[in-house]
Structure 1
């Protein structure tokens, strides 16, 4: 099978296209023919050996896939030919991928695989953040950073569905427009405005109840300035590449909390199974509508990763193998 691998050198430049044997599923696993794979910022971290999961080289990156089951291992309840989407720890940027059965989301015929592939990581993270790590309430002010990215737009749509007032930041006017089209009532271009002053002005100096921070670094520190009394800062990631320093006195003086958002099928299986089914229904009903920036062929994966790294996109970037992965 065709696969992209990190072999000797790290980074996008170190990716090599190889032809390797197709793996066989073990008990509790499925072999899925990958129709479409979604890119995530964690892919960039992994190929640079800066992610918490560090596969031994050579390895195939890619953590979010959708396709059809071609083989099943012992004890697996899915059928050959069934359409599925799944998170994988790694191995998604290949013609076939081994998938743990407990990570699989069954995909009905009414959902395009290009939409389903965005559910296992981005939308799941947003749903975990807003309904499990904490529960947002109607008319809460929720600030979402990097709101036009794949994760950011998922968070905007989930927050909108939950009835909160979404405020957003993004790096261009076009990205601000996209954030507003997907549910943000205000979007601030952080390259043109002092965004936390704008947030305080919009909330009459009360601040926001929840901050969804996938950026880290200086953004996290500045976020504390516009957190409301008893506000909650959700630490979702560090796309800036910088781990934040959180001044504890800012939390103390506002009786506020900083909470990590992390989930795992090893620890949260029942919760994640329920969320997966819920997201499928929201996708069917149109309450969430994944935004796809572009489709890339298998050979163009390095360009796709470069576009993601350089922030030349909004929404999700997808690598597809077949027309089933395209818009239906």
Structure 2
């Protein structure tokens, strides 16, 4: 009986949404992570109905679709997601959605250039947004996809895309200038999980995560002890919590270092798998990236 009521509810929701689409003449676009939502918003603007599934502080590795999400996905004309198994538990939902246009942002990239991993299901690091050049390619990919879906707005989408790419170029130049103030030997970034490898590759940081590429893997006592020894040996001044990962693992790491007669500070909270709160500077991709770099550099100096 409960299943029947849910089906009827979803049917009602979808019918009303479809009616709204006919009224305003806009396509319904659904996005998964906050980074993708921000990107598509910058390109589509007021010419699309945009709904993001995940909010600030949400871990996409462990995210499960709610009944409300199923309604949004069922009514979507286009679904943008990261791919590379980032949204592991949502992939099954996508696979069951025949006749829906699901677009993986990672399809914009040459897989041979991605960071591989023998321990992760996709064999690629999915945290591609931490390479600004990749995000520029993702921008062009979204422009192309939306232009094909709404050809009458192609010029608008292309203009928006060009403007956003200019902003990304300016961001990269600004971050390079900020990072240049940090000596190479101090560019060691220790975080809760391996979300920052593309950042490290792009900006010449050695990146070490306590957990693996996915937060679904747990850090053990041996991992903590091994990393604490690394911190002491390399005289790392600060380690970092992530907004979408419980801070207890980093606190345990700090305690392990202290038990060996050394001190390491927690340099702040970084945004890794999700942006900051909506309506804040950190709630945008550009604001998040600038905040992260300032936090890292200031703590490691």
Higher relative strand content: 1
Higher relative helix content: 2
User: Shared topology, TM-score over 0.5?
Assistant: no
Q: Structure 2 length as normaliser, TM-score? A: 0.31
